[in-house]
Amino acid sequence: MYKFPLQKLGEYRKRQEEIYQKDLSECNRNINHEAKKLKNLNTSKKKAYRKIQEIQKESFTTSDNLLFGYYLENLEKKINDENNKIYNLELQKDNITDKLLEAVKKRKMIDKLKEYGLEKHRKEMNKRAQYQLDESGAYRFGRKLMSNP
């Protein structure tokens, strides 16, 4: 029975890879969530501009102008904040992706070492089995010669 000496390390690397995959998945969810929020803000901004155009056709007072100005300014601030959040999440995603790729490389290296060790063990076992067959064949042949003088 073959026992891989670095089995615990391989298990550790596999767990690390799973953790990074989970983190990447969570980061992608956060990016999608923030992107939806940004889309909603942009939609609100377009609606507000259309509403301003409608009001301007009828009557547009200074107080309306101030209110819409503050509202649009607030929307722009929120849009910029969302863009910054998405940018930071994308940086975080890139960082996690790099760590995940490194973890995958390390795990695959351990897997290759395990396969190499297993193949080496199989060859050694086959060699021993062949040796035993050769020895038993030689023993039988020797007994046959001695019994037929």
Q: What is the 3-state secondary structure (H, E, C) of the chain?
A: CCCCCCHHHHHHHHHHHHHHHHHHHHHHHHHHHHHHHHHHHHHHHHHHHHHHHHHHHHCCCHHHHHHHHHHHHHHHHHHHHHHHHHHHHHHHHHHHHHHHHHHHHHHHHHHHHHHHHHHHHHHHHHHHHHHHHHHHHHHHHHHHHHHCC
Whether pLDDT at 32 is above 90: yes
Full set of structural domains in the chain with CATH: 7-147 (1.10.287.1700)
Whether pLDDT at 22 is above 80: yes
Highest mean pLDDT among 2-11, 91-100, 137-146: 91-100
Q: What are 4-18's pLDDT values in tens digits?
A: 889 999 999 999 999
Q: Is the pTM of this model over 0.85?
A: no
Rounded percentage of the chain residues whose pLDDT exceeds 70: 98
Upper half-sphere CA count for residue 147 (Cβ side, 13 Å): 6
Indicate the average pLDDT of the chain: 91
Average pLDDT over residues 13-41: 97
